[in-house]
Amino acid sequence: MGKSIGVAIRVPYLDPLFMDYAKKLPVKFKVNVENGVTYGKWLMRKAYDGLIPDEVVWQSKAPLEQGTGTWVFPDYFDKKVATEVFEEKKKLYLEKDDVILSSKEQLIYYAMFRKHFGKPSDVYNDKSGKHCPNCKGYVNTPLGFCRICGNYPI
C-alpha cells in the first residue's frame, strides 16, 4: 500500500538479521522482572529506560481489544438486545441451524453471517478442517478456536 503512494514500508523487527539476533538472545533478555513485575520485551524496555517516560516504557501489555475499542461491544449488545429476544433467537437458531449461541454479541454477528452467507455448516463444509461443536462449521486452522463463531476450544 505504501509503495502505491511512494512510501517505503519497513518492518525492522521482522528483518531476518534482527530476528536471527533476537533468537540467539538468552530468555532473560526477552522476559524479565523489573520492580517485582514480569515484562516481555525486557531488553527493548531497558534500552528506552530513562529516554522516554516510565509510564510508556513499563506499561503493561493491554489486550488488542482495548486499542480497537471492541471491548465495549459485549455491554453494548447486552443493552441493545432484550433478554427475551436473545433467548427466543437462541432457541430458533438451535432448532433451525443446530447452532449454539452463547451471548447477545454472538447473536448479532451470527445473524449477520446467516443473512449474507447462510448456515455455517453449508458454507464451511470442507470436512478436512476442525469441526466446531457450536456452529457446526469446519475450520481449516491449527488454532484452537472457531473462526466462524469464536467458540473455544474446538
Find, among 127, 129, 95, 97, the residue nearest to 110 by Cα.
97
DSSP symbol at 129:
S
Cα dist from 49 to 18, 21, 25, 42, 100, whole Å:
21, 21, 19, 10, 49
**What's the mean per-residue pLDDT of the chain?**
86
pTM: predicted TM-score of the whole model, two decimal places: 0.53
Alpha-carbon span 105 to 82, nearest angstrom: 12
* Tens place of pLDDT per residue across the chain (154 aa): 677 788 888 888 888 998 999 999 999 999 999 999 999 999 999 999 999 999 999 998 766 655 566 678 888 999 999 999 999 999 999 999 989 998 998 899 889 989 998 888 788 777 777 888 888 877 777 777 777 777 778 7
